[in-house]
Structure 1
Amino acid sequence: MLSHLAAPRLATIQSFFKTTTDKDTLGCYAWNQAIGAGMLPILGDLEVSFRNALHRALSQHYGGIDSYNWMMQQSNPAHAINPAAPALLPAMHKLPSKSVQDVSGIVVKIKGKKPAGYVVTPDDVVAALPFGFWEVLIAGLGHASHPPGIQAIILAAAFPQAPDTLTVPYGDNAFKTRMTKLLKMIRDTRNRIGHHDSLWGMPEFDLHGIVGFIPRRPRHTVVSLRLFADRIRWFAGWIDPGISRYIQNSDHWWSLQALLHRRALAAYRQLGGRAGSYRAVLDAAEYPRYEKSSLRTHSCKFRRPLLALFY
């Protein structure tokens, strides 16, 4: 495998982790992969909740229901009477030209996969829009093309649990700037994972999205990535604290925390990342504590603790 990695990437792994053998290098490479895979479900929980919160807020604002067509162009009734009139009217919520192209391209793609006459729904479009679309949408809420006050209305509805709103209200430009900076840092990490890039040098950022410390040693990386995961959990709580609790109580979260430990990296390096590395990490990790009743199966046929069934 090492012979198929680009020389600059291979050199970066060897330099950062101070590897001494090919097995050691492969272990570090595989640990980075495992971290990326472990973060995806948590990022997915945030992204799905985030886009649905904004969609719901905009739908309620324009249509009074939870899912409404605020983003797609609509047929112009006047066109049937006067062919010179535009066939389509702009979307209710004014979008930048790139965002309009994103929406129209998704509509065409969905129609191409569906039977003739299929009517594309707002939910179809929302599910297919890229993460960056929502980042641009938030950044543009204060634009003069929108009615006054719409930024405060939409952001307050979508993120009712956002912190510091007494000192920095939803309609304040500083609130919007804070959100877009946090989103940029999250998107950058998401893109690193998507492009199979390195996570060990990912910079830390504070609660306002300001870039800070950049890891210089593997031990720094473990701490920084734990901090990043906690930022995801915290940011999801802006929508609903229940989302944050769900993430933190999930198996994805627990297994990611097990990977984000110096002994996990050591296990991957020792085993060269081969099959069984992940299992070794989980076996060495401390299980979450549950009430005794929750560790029993509901069937009288099985008497072993629930956790024992998985190993």
Structure 2
Amino acid sequence: MLKHLTAPRLATIQAFFKTQSDKDILGCYAWNQAVGAGLLPILGDFEVSFRNALHRALSQHFGGLDSYDWMMPRPNPAHAVNPAAPALLPARHKLNPKSKEDVNSAMSKTKGKKPSGYVVTPDDVVAALPFGFWEVLISGLSHSSQPAGLQAAILAAVFPHAPNTLTVPYGDPAFRKRVLDLLKRFRDVRNRIGHHDSLWATPEFNCLGALGLVPRRPRHTVNSLKLFADNVCWFAGWIDPQISAYIKNSDHWWSLQALLHRQALVTYRELGGVVGTYRAILDSAELPLRSAPKSLRKPQRKFLERLVANRHFY
């Protein structure tokens, strides 16, 4: 596999991890992949919750429904009477040219996957829009072309549990900037995963989204990625604390915590990331029974205890 990785990529791994052998290099490479795979479900939970909350807020604002076509071009009734009139009217929510292109592309892709005559729904479009669309949409909520007070109304509906809104209210440019800076940090990591890039260089950032320490050692990386996962979970709680609770009570979260440990990285480096490495990590990790819901029936708890005792949870 090493001969199929570019020299610059291998040099980056060697320089950062101070690798001693080919097996060591492959182990570091595999650990990076495993962490990326572990982060994706958590980022996915946040992204789906976030875009649906924003869609619901705009739908309620423009149509009084939970799902409304606020982003889609509308048929022009005048076109039937006067063919010279435009066939379509602009979307109810004002979008910039790039966002309009994203919506049209989402509609075209959906139509291409459906039978002839299928009518594309707002939910179809929301599911197909890229993450960047929602960032651009939030950045434009306070534009002079938008109705007065739109930013405050929409962001209050999307983030009802946001902190410090008495000192930095929803309509404040500082609140919008904070949201956008946090979203940018999430998108950067999401893009690193999608492009098979170096997660070990993921910088820390604070609750305002301001960048901090850039990892210089593997131990910095472990801490940085732990903080990143915590920040995703925390920000999801702005939408609804139940989202955070769901994420932290999932197998995805527990498995990721097992990977984000110095010993996990050591194991990958020693084994070279071969088959069984990930299982070895999970087998050696403690299942957090103390955080399990009290509502678990006694037989369920006994079953979990047996799994831990036998190191058979994988």
TM-score (norm 2): 0.95
Instruction: Write the distance in 2 (CA, Å) between the matches of 1:149 and 1:186.
Output: 27
Q: Which residue of 2 aligns with 1:287?
A: 287
Instruction: Write the distance in 2 (CA, Å) between the matches of 1:74 and 1:292.
Output: 49
RMSD: 1.8
Kept in 2: contact 1:297–1:305 (CA 8 A): no
Offset at residue 305 of structure 1 (A): 4.0
Report matched runs for 1:19-168 at 5 Å: 19-168=19-168
Kept in 2: contact 1:296–1:305 (CA 8 A): no
Instruction: Write the distance in 2 (CA, Å) between the matches of 1:138 and 1:251.
Output: 32
Counterpart secondary structure, 1:144? coil
2:5 matched to 1:5?
yes
Return the letter of the residue paired with 1:170.
Y
2:190 matched to 1:187?
no
2:253 matched to 1:247?
no
Counterpart secondary structure, 1:238? helix
Kept in 2: contact 1:296–1:304 (CA 8 A): no
Return the letter of the residue paired with 1:296.
P
Kept in 2: contact 1:204–1:228 (CA 8 A): yes
Counterpart secondary structure, 1:237? helix
Return the letter of the residue paired with 2:135.
E
Consecutive unaligned residues in structure 2, runs of 5 or more: none
Instruction: Write the distance in 2 (CA, Å) between the matches of 1:58 and 1:196.
Output: 34
Aligned residues: 309
Offset at residue 297 of structure 1 (A): 4.3
Return the letter of the residue paired with 2:129.
L
Offset at residue 87 of structure 1 (A): 0.5
Instruction: Write the distance in 1 (CA, Å) between the matches of 2:64 and 2:288.
Output: 43
Return the letter of the residue paired with 2:234.
W
Aligned residues with identical type, % of pairs:
71
Return the letter of the residue paired with 1:68.
Y
Consecutive unaligned residues in structure 1, runs of 5 or more: none
Q: What CA deviation, in whole Å up to 9, does each residue of 1:139-185 have, x standing for no partner?
A: 00000111000100000001100111000000000100111111111
The structure-2 alpha-carbon separation of the partners of 1:81 and 1:296, relative to structure 1 and needing over 3 Å to count, comes to same
Counterpart secondary structure, 2:238? coil
Instruction: Write the distance in 1 (CA, Å) between the matches of 2:90 and 2:295.
Output: 58
Kept in 2: contact 1:295–1:305 (CA 8 A): no
Kept in 2: contact 1:25–1:272 (CA 8 A): yes
